[in-house]
């Protein structure tokens, strides 16, 4: 990595556009490597997709494309260290909320009845028990932001990137709050980034669990998941998600969809049908950054540019943040990436693709 010119004290070594979990995890990693980092966000840090997620570290989800495995396994391996470095900087611990996932076999996903409840044990024919953990993304977001704010990383909120022009190994950024020069730019704006990344809306709700329902594990079918919070401010709640909708940037929630999700969840745990026993405590929708092949775009935007992208993490942004930060920092610094990034080449989509300004 080439250092910024000395006469531009305010210029960062790396500028990151997008202060979601990917952008801020990368900012911390680059900062750890000695870089001066500025992060821009059109809105406020960690205010959209990153806090709408369920937080499953679902590296073994059978719905994931197989090419995602090496990156997701690397991220799972990095997670304890990722959380401890956030805790060291912020003073805020981010505990794992669950440590097991019961994954329904696809043939049983739509044929569940309460007689199957005893099946929710390891070794069941209907469910496979996976060693998968989850975190509370809102707890993670608060700690990550506090960690970043305790470093020299600059976050410029309410600053949208309007254009980025490469010339002579410098990138001139035009933003809604002024211009900025940087030798390296990384686009991490999720659903608001490249034209090949489309928002895929997910509605979900969270419900309070009665003391009679001690749910400590994630339950997941091909249709829905139930994710209990066991620690921290939302302990005793369970998330029920999620729809997958292609409706642009709309984030409204609809009773009909939430009722559908609750009914599906009640087929797994019948108590969830009872709104008095398990009242709704929150409802929201997030915009997953989807790509045509459900794989992220990680790497250099074009061969002759020092603009990089780390977008399109679709359903796995929380899971993939530590490994994405690691591999992007490695390639920006000029090292070999820990993981083969060939399947994630940003150049695999047609050249008409471009940055969505």
Q: Which residues bind ligand GLY (CB under 6 A)?
A: 53-54, 56, 202, 241-242, 288, 315
> Please, what is the minimum distance in Å from the beta carbon of residue 257 to ligand GLY?
13
Question: What's the rounded Cα separation, in Å, for the pair 272 and 58?
Answer: 23
Q: Which is nearer to ligand GLY, 245 or 353 (CB)?
A: 245
Please provide residue 88's backbone torsions phi and psi, each rounded to the nearest 5 degrees.
Answer: -60, -35
> Please, what is the minimum distance in Å from the beta carbon of residue 195 to ligand GLY?
21
> Please, what is the minimum distance in Å from the beta carbon of residue 330 to ligand GLY?
25
200 within 8 A of 314, measured Cβ to Cβ = yes
> Please, what is the minimum distance in Å from the beta carbon of residue 322 to ligand GLY?
16
> Please, what is the minimum distance in Å from the beta carbon of residue 125 to ligand GLY?
26
Question: What's the rounded Cα separation, in Å, for the pair 205 and 301?
Answer: 37
Comparing CA positions, the residue from 257, 114, 154, 278 lying closest to residue 209 is 278
Q: Which is nearer to ligand GLY, 21 or 53 (CB)?
A: 53
Q: Which is nearer to ligand GLY, 262 or 315 (CB)?
A: 315
What residue number has its CB nearest to ligand GLY?
Answer: 315
Q: How many CB atoms lie within 10 A of CB 177?
A: 11
Q: If you compute the radius of gyration of the chain from its CA atoms, what whole number of angstroms results?
A: 21
Q: Which is nearer to ligand GLY, 236 or 241 (CB)?
A: 241
Q: Which is nearer to ligand GLY, 46 or 180 (CB)?
A: 46
For residue 107, give Cα distances in angstroms to 191, 223, 281: 32, 12, 32
Q: At what angle do helices 137-149 and 69-90 cross, to 10 degrees?
A: 60
> Please, what is the minimum distance in Å from the beta carbon of residue 59 to ligand GLY?
12
**250: exposed, middle or buried (C-beta count within 10 Å: 0-12, 13-18, 19+)?**
exposed
Q: Which is nearer to ligand GLY, 14 or 294 (CB)?
A: 294
> Please, what is the minimum distance in Å from the beta carbon of residue 54 to ligand GLY?
5
Question: What's the rounded Cα separation, in Å, for the pair 100 and 92?
Answer: 24
Q: Which is nearer to ligand GLY, 253 or 330 (CB)?
A: 253
Q: How many CB atoms lie within 10 A of CB 258?
A: 19
């Amino acid at each position: 990595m080439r250092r910024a010119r000395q006469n531009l004290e305010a210029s960062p070594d790396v500028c990151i556009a997008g202060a979601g979990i990917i952008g801020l995890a990368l900012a911390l990693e680059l900062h750890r490597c000695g870089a001066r980092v500025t992060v821009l966000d059109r809105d406020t840090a960690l205010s959209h997709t990153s806090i709408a997620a369920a937080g499953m570290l679902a590296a073994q989800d059978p719905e994931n494309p197989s090419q995602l495995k090496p990156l997701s396994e690397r991220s799972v391996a990095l997670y304890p260290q990722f959380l401890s470095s956030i805790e060291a900087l912020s003073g805020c611990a981010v505990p794992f909320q669950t440590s097991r996932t019961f994954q329904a076999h696809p043939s049983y996903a739509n044929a569940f009845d309460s007689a199957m409840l005893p099946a929710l044990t390891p070794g069941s024919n209907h469910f496979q028990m996976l060693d998968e953990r989850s975190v509370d993304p809102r707890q993670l977001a608060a700690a990550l932001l506090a960690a970043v704010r305790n470093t020299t990383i600059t976050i410029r909120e309410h600053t949208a990137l309007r254009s980025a022009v490469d010339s002579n190994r410098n990138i001139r950024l035009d933003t809604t709050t002024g211009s900025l020069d940087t030798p390296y730019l990384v686009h991490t704006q999720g659903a608001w980034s490249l034209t090949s990344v489309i928002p895929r809306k997910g509605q979900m709700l969270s419900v309070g669990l009665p003391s009679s329902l001690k749910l400590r594990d994630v339950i997941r079918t091909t249709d829905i998941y139930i994710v209990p919070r066991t620690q921290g401010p939302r302990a005793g709640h369970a998330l029920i998600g999620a729809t997958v909708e292609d409706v642009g940037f709309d984030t409204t929630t609809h009773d009909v969809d939430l009722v559908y999700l609750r009914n599906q969840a009640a087929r797994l745990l019948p108590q969830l049908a009872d709104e008095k026993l398990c009242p709704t405590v929150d409802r929201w929708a997030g915009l997953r950054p989807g790509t045509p092949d459900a794989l992220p775009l990680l790497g250099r935007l074009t061969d002759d540019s020092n603009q990089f992208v780390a977008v399109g993490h679709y359903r796995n942004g929380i899971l993939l943040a530590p490994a994405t930060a690691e591999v992007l920092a490695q390639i920006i610094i000029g090292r070999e990436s820990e993981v083969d990034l060939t399947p994630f080449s940003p150049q695999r989509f047609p050249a008409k693709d471009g940055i969505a300004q």
